[in-house]
Every structure is written in structure tokens, then in C-alpha cells.
């Protein structure tokens, strides 16, 4: 497999689609682009689970023997960025887009068939730090249907979007280096395609956009009941 088929670096600025208004960030040059239409290989780091090419897209599946969700990450360290991709549930109970700090977790968009959660992660697990949920939306994400995810992080701000569900929040943790963007899968499998990571700058109209969105913590539905996999370590 050729690395060039996985990695596309370009100096050309990427503008939003004509019908897509900027949210938190203005997109800049492409850092990484991959249609995810080849078998996973370098530069991907497969930490857990089974990752393969199925029906022309990348599929991740949890392996019961791992006692941990499937995890695939890129080695990139990022500053301000926008990540976009599409996913399709194929029997999984959960999936997420996860961003790490240089040590431990930083932020994620966590998705189940019935919920979308946008949060700052617990950054020390056993210590005093705790996750901060900016929003948890009820959702009806049907299996076998493609859904679009967008994560924007600029300075101390984060904005997450799944379909039309959008929320934001701030944390001092977000001003530290961001690393290892990756996908997680809990349960049977999830398909992924059309991944793009771009540099980003703050949208000058962010204050106006922010006023149209829920305030952090304003839309937090109860967490869905945990089923199979209860007690497993967060991916």
C-alpha cells in the first residue's frame, strides 16, 4: 500500500461548501485527507479491535478478547483544526471521535444509536479531574445510514456536530497540544469514510454563531443506560 494513497498534503486553502456557513472555525489548508477506501495501514496506529476494508470503506469492530473498544488513531499532533468524516452504524453500540492530550484524553464526540454527546474528557482517570459534558442530545441514528461528523477546536474552544446536532464548550485543557485523533468502536462494527483534517482559524463571526447555539450544559439529556461492555475502559 502506498503512503501517498493515504496522505494528502496541500497548500491550497479549502473554503466551506457554498451552502455551508462557518461555525467556530474558518478552514485552512488540508493536513490529512483519506477517503478510507483502502485497507487500514500506515500512518494509522491500530491499538485495539479489528480494522479492515469492507465494501470499499474502513470498518472497525470490537474484539471481545480485548475487553476494550476498538481504537485506531493517527500520530498527528494538531493545533487549531477541523475534522470531518462520515460513519455508518453496523451493529455497534457506540462510536466516538476522540482527541488526546499529550497525556491522557482531551475531548470527544461520543455517539450511540440514541444519543450524541459532546464533551471535554476526563484528563487523569484516577485523579480529581472529571469529564465535562457540554451537551448530550437524544438521537435516532439508524443502522446502515451514513451520518456526518464535524469537530472544530480553536484555542480554548471546541464545537462538535453530528448531522444538525451542534454544541460547543471551552476548557483551558484545549489550549495545550492536541494529539492522536482517532476513531473508537464499542460492539459489533462501524464503517467510516471521507476523513479530512484541516488547519483552522477562529471565525470572526463566532460570537454571532455562538448566540444561536445551546449554552454549554444547557442541553444535557440523561445518559443512555449502559448495556454490554459496562465497566470497560474508555477508548
Retrieve residue 130's grid coordinates.
472529571
pLDDT reading at 227 higher than 70? no
| Mean pLDDT across the chain | 89
Residue 14 pLDDT: 38
Question: What is the tens place of the pLDDT at every residue in 98-150?
Answer: 999 988 999 999 999 999 999 999 998 777 889 999 999 999 999 999 999 99
| Structural domain for 151, as ranges | 30-220
Give the pLDDT mean for 207-212. 98
Domain assignment present for residue 229? The answer is no
CB 69 within 8 A of CB 232: yes
Q: Is the pTM of this model over 0.85?
A: yes
Domain assignment present for residue 15? The answer is no
CB 154 within 8 A of CB 168: no
Domain assignment present for residue 197? The answer is yes
Domain assignment present for residue 11? The answer is no
Domain assignment present for residue 6? The answer is no
User: Which domain CATH number covers 96?
Assistant: 2.60.120.560
Domain count, the chain: 1
What is the band of 235 on the pLDDT scale with cuts at 50, 70, 90? low
Residue 24 pLDDT: 98
Residue 108 makes CB contacts below 8 A (sequence gap 6+) with 96, 97, 98, 99, 117, 119, 121
Q: Tell me the torsion sign for CA atoms 86, 142, 235, 191.
A: negative
Amino acid at each position: 500500500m502506498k503512503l501517498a494513497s493515504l496522505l494528502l498534503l496541500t497548500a491550497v486553502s479549502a473554503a466551506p461548501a457554498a451552502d455551508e456557513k462557518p461555525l467556530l472555525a474558518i478552514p485552512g489548508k488540508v493536513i490529512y485527507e483519506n477517503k478510507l477506501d483502502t485497507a487500514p495501514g500506515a500512518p494509522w496506529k491500530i491499538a485495539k479491535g479489528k480494522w479492515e476494508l469492507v465494501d470499499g470503506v474502513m470498518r472497525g469492530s470490537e474484539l471481545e478478547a480485548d475487553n476494550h473498544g476498538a481504537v485506531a488513531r493517527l500520530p498527528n499532533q494538531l493545533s487549531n483544526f477541523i475534522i470531518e468524516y462520515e460513519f455508518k452504524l453496523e451493529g455497534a453500540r457506540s462510536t466516538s471521535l476522540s482527541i488526546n492530550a499529550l497525556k491522557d484524553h482531551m475531548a470527544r464526540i461520543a455517539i450511540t444509536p440514541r444519543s450524541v454527546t459532546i464533551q471535554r474528557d476526563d484528563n487523569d482517570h484516577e485523579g480529581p479531574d472529571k469529564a465535562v459534558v457540554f451537551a448530550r442530545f437524544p438521537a435516532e441514528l439508524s443502522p446502515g445510514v451514513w451520518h456526518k461528523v464535524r469537530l472544530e477546536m480553536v484555542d480554548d474552544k471546541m464545537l462538535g456536530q453530528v448531522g444538525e446536532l451542534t454544541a460547543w464548550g471551552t476548557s483551558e485543557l484545549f489550549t495545550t497540544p492536541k494529539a492522536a485523533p482517532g476513531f473508537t468502536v464499542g460492539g459489533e462494527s462501524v464503517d467510516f469514510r471521507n476523513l479530512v483534517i484541516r488547519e483552522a482559524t477562529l471565525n470572526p463571526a463566532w460570537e454571532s454563531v455562538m448566540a444561536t447555539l445551546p449554552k454549554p450544559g444547557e442541553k444535557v439529556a440523561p445518559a443512555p443506560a449502559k448495556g454490554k461492555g459496562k465497566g470497560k475502559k474508555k477508548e
